[in-house]
Amino acid sequence: MSESINIYFTGTAGSGKTTMVAAFNEWMAEHGYDSVPINLDPGAEELPYKPEVDIRHWLRLDEIMNEFGLGPNGAQVAAADLTALNAEKVKEGFEDIDTSYFLMDTPGQIELFAFRDGTPHTIDVFGRDRSIIVYIFDPTMAQTPSGFVSLMMLSATVQFRLGLPQINVLGKADTLAPEKFNEIMGWSLDRYALSNAVLDSVGGMEKNLAVELFQVLETMGVLNSFFPISSTERTGFEDLYNVVQQVFAGGEDLEAQ
């Protein structure tokens, strides 16, 4: 069997990371693929899945707050750094697990995963060459042209920061009205439609800024399409699985357990 693939699910707070990890894990099992959910959020209270490895066995947010006299925000930052310091210990919990996919549920606040200095070290310890990011677009923020572009920029920043292959998906697609869903998907497929939508929504100096911004995004090559996923309706997971296979296995399925 090939070496396991680490799939990191990330996105802004409320984008549906934890729910997607649970739903995708169930979808994988239903289709004969072996996956294991991993919780990397020390502040998680309740999880809709049973993690095989749980960072809370080593770090818990309330304990960090008490030990270091920190508030919730400071404790979250400290926990992100302590996760990196404990990465080798956490990795030991993976070593006896025989699976094709580790589904990594990252902290709720994206900055705690993407923008702390310790995260690249954690990824290296867990296995960088077999890792990929699933970046989830929050459908609420994506409904406006400026919000959509902001999410696209954040996605590009995460990819630049962590240096991993990345898949962009529209989460909670079932919550969108059909006309809004079609509009968002149109923006993802046609950069000119997105550019026109942004320019129509701003004026004055903001219009000049928008033009310059699109030039930068085009140069970076980040104006790429994504596909929708609904954890509730279990749609889009086949597309997600297929893209992962294209990245790591040339489109060929890894061995099912």
- Determine, yes or no, domain membership for 133: yes
pTM higher than the cut 0.75: yes
pLDDT of res. 256: 45
3-state secondary structure of 102: strand
Q: Which two tokens stand for residue 235?
A: 């749609």
Asked whether residue 96 is assigned to any structural domain, the reply reads yes
Boundaries of domain holding 56 = 5-248
> Residue 188 sits in a domain of what CATH number?
3.40.50.300
Do residues 145 and 197 lie in contact, with contact meaning Cβ atoms separated by under 8 Å?
A: yes
> Minimal CA–CA distance to 98: which of 3, 23, 12, 204?
3
Do the domain assignments include residue 220? yes
Tens-digit pLDDT profile for residues 86-127: 999 999 988 889 999 999 999 988 988 999 889 999 999 999
pLDDT digits (tens, 9 = 90+) for 206-249: 777 777 777 777 776 666 678 999 999 999 999 999 999 999 97
Q: Mapping DSSP to helix (H, G, I), strand (E, B) and coil, where does residue 230 land?
A: strand
Q: Indicate whether 182 belongs to any domain.
A: yes
